[in-house]
Structure 1
């Protein structure tokens, strides 16, 4: 069953929340907030599809709340509809200038409100699907390089705030050029799909990220995972790929396809950069290759 879209109703008057909620509750998961600050806090912690926002509220008014939402890169695409008793073109223009996508006056007309909310939620979900497709590798179904960089940026920032471990694994299929030369690119694609499925199966936590880095390389981002945990995961991946027993006559280390991995772990601190994480993990991957391949090399690195 598909999860229902989530709508946040923001109003300092409980009666208004109850009235609007009654109009929408059959089709949406309803959350509510009674202030602008509370609304922003909920939006940052919850995956919302739309906000219905009152204008006249104590503390942050609706205009300022909307502006703050639109200034947050993680919330900027969230559609906001003003629901207000301020019924004039001047107020509506001001609301649209603050970043709202629509403006509805009270008392709301149930049929019109449902239609407007439905249209904007549908457009939001369509944009989300397109964004998701832009971050997925079509061959393997894993995230692509763009998703890797987005995940790294988010997790470096999040783990730095929480003073937590972050680990990264870079995986390379050994002698993959020779595999393509011998078996052809169609079989090469099948090999990539099988390896992607095997390493992806090891990533069981929803917070972990597994992506195709490019070519025959894969990258995994593991928040709240120290070196011992990341090495264990990388070794599980190595064994799962070895257990596939995909014939590889061009390999110099065995009869079947194998992988080599580099593992980087450290406590996160502010100021760390995505290129430095990738470069440092790549060096550990090349250590695995230089040591004979079909192995895992990991290290806790100092300040990156």
Structure 2
């Protein structure tokens, strides 16, 4: 692939970043998450097929379209690239105008696909992320935390006695209440990579990458206070005359020995303790693998 020619071809239309080897290409893609990748089959070290295989296996990069460019015009070579997940294959020597046209086409398709995926990942009632998006982001955040050997925290949030709220005020008021709560909870998050999701019914979840237990507890307390400030009447509640929350916080140092499901389970246990302890409160725990389990392995 003539990198300089391609750079000149697209430099006025988009940001172009270059990598000269397979390992470097993977690093650049994970760091920048480009809209499209032009990939030569023959590169120093790792070949293009292996780069494609690894990018498609990573949840962080698997949706990025890849176009192969190759001097090998064999049909088998093209088939291998397409089977690995590439969206197109252009032989060399290439016509710059054809490359530009195909790149534009696949960028348009990528943006349309991104829009449809984003709509499928939103909760229709509250406008925040839905459970599907939370689960996808949790997997990606877990992988990143394992690579960085860093902390990852999760908050599960339950609206206290919400069934009684619906019974007392009606489901229309209940829906309005959930929308107001979602807005208030989302407003407590300051970083673009923090995620609030509707987990189901009257439950929300908040994913906090690169956040330790103390930081996650602070966020949970902010959420508790933000909802209290709304002063939404709830005369059917057994906690008090206003809508309140119970929150379970779990934090972990992610590792290959653990799974995201263990973080979820720990947060759920803390939520149960918050509800059993009288509700309208935060319970938190740093999750550590049980020593007996480690020794058993």
State TM-score, norm by structure 1.
Answer: 0.86
Structure 1's 124 and 171: CA in aligned 2 closer, same or farther, altered over 3 A?
same
CA distance in 2, matches of 1:224, 1:64: 30
Corresponding residue SS for 1:254: coil
Q: Does the 8 Å CA contact 1:172/1:217 hold for their aligned counterparts?
A: yes
Query: Are residues 1:20 and 2:6 paired?
Result: yes
| C-alpha contact (below 8 Å) 1:149/1:274 kept by paired residues | no
Select which of 260, 274, 277 maps to 1:288: 274
> Which residue among 29, 38, 41 is the counterpart of 1:52?
38
Residue number in structure 2 paired with 1:5: none
Instruction: After TM superposition, list the pairs within 5 Å mapping 1:259-278 onto structure 2.
Output: 259-278=245-264
Alignment RMSD: 2.2
Give, in whole Å, the separation in 1 of the partners of 2:252 and 2:62.
31
- After superposing the two structures, state which structure 1 stretch, 253-262 or 148-157, moved more: 148-157
Give the distance between the partners of 1:224 and 1:279, measured in 2 at CA.
19
Deviation of the 1:159 alpha carbon? 2.2
1:209 to 185, 188, 195: 195
User: Superposition pairs for residues 1-304 of structure 1, below 5 Å?
Assistant: 11=1, 16-87=2-73, 89=75, 91-303=77-289
Change (3 A) 1:37 1:232: closer
**CA distance in structure 1 between the partners assigned to 2:56 and 2:287 by the alignment:** 37
> 1:299, CA displacement in angstroms?
2.3
Q: In the TM superposition, what whole-angstrom CA distance separates every residue of 1:119-171 from its partner, at most 9, and x where no partner exists? A: 11111222222222222111112111122222222223322333322222111
| In structure 2, distance between residues paired with 1:143 and 1:279 | 20
- Contact between 2:20 and 2:44, CA under 8 Å: does it hold in 1? no
Tell me if the contact between 2:33 and 2:61 (Cα under 8 Å) persists in the aligned partners. Answer: no
Q: Structure 1: any 5+ residue segments left out of the alignment? A: 1-10
Distance in structure 2 (CA, Å) of the matches to 1:253 and 1:97: 58
